[in-house]
Amino acid sequence: MKQLVLIAAVVLLAAQSLRAEVLEKTKKVGRTTVQYKVVLPNGYDPAKAYPAILALGGGPQTMNTVDGVLNRNLRAEAEKRGYIVVAPAAPDGELFFEDGARIFPEFLKMILADYKIQDGKFHIAGPSNGGIAAFHVAGANPQYFLSVTAFPGYMWEPSTAKLQAISKMCVFMYVGELDEYMWHGEMKQEAEYLRSKGTIARYTVEKGQPHRLDTLAGEHAARLFDGFEQARKGCRE
């Protein structure tokens, strides 16, 4: 009986060691304290290189919105497919397409020092304000990114130079058919411009969906990761 209990304990311990983790951390970037969460995949091995996603929350980009994008859109699929997800909250309440962007690229360099990231590059993704921020951060730091995914989102204060900066990345843009905001025109225009430069840039209208897209949440979040996988294969049409 004792032997069976011992075996059961060993099996439980092994299972726990393979279970994916969500870590809550802070880093000091210059004088700015950054709170962030890290999702590690099932069976994480620190000696192995993994693909990685920089995830940015919507709305005020607080830790609550970080939890939202992780739980709705990224965590389960990342754990299963073997991705690391890094999700910072906006420092001092300053959005990532505004003054909060000052933490980049130093924050990315710190993450690359902590984890083995394939090719030293991230996918960047987020909903709403997170999508806008994803475009903004990728455009300002293109050497660190493979793809941009916004659901929805577009380039903040777009210019030819900003769009040219992301023209070698895969770009995936999703917007609800019933979205009350004026996302559609700008997103479609930017996707068309990027395609004209030869990159994969997809603009998808989600039928019957409002601003918050259920078609990319839960089990449907696999669609986001299909885009990440496409980017790993190449981004030229």
How much is the pTM? 0.91
Contact (CB, 8 A) for 211 and 152: yes
DSSP percent split of the chain into helix, strand, coil, nearest 5: 45, 25, 30
* Mean pLDDT calculated for residue range 165-191: 95
Mapping DSSP to helix (H, G, I), strand (E, B) and coil, where does residue 225 land? helix
pLDDT at 15: 40
Distances (CA, A) of 140 to 98, 102, 147: 12, 10, 13
Residues 76-112: tens digit of each pLDDT? 999 999 999 999 999 999 999 999 999 999 999 999 9
Confidence check: pLDDT of 2 > 80: no
Query: Element (H or E) spanning 203, and its range?
Result: strand 201-206
16 vs 235, more confident: 235
Q: Considering the chain, what is the average pLDDT of its residues? A: 92
Which residues make beta-bridge pairs with 24? 37
Identify the residue whose tokens are 């994008």.
69
What is the distance between the alpha carbons of residues 162 and 157, in angstroms, rounded to a whole number? 9
* Mean pLDDT calculated for residue range 26-38: 97
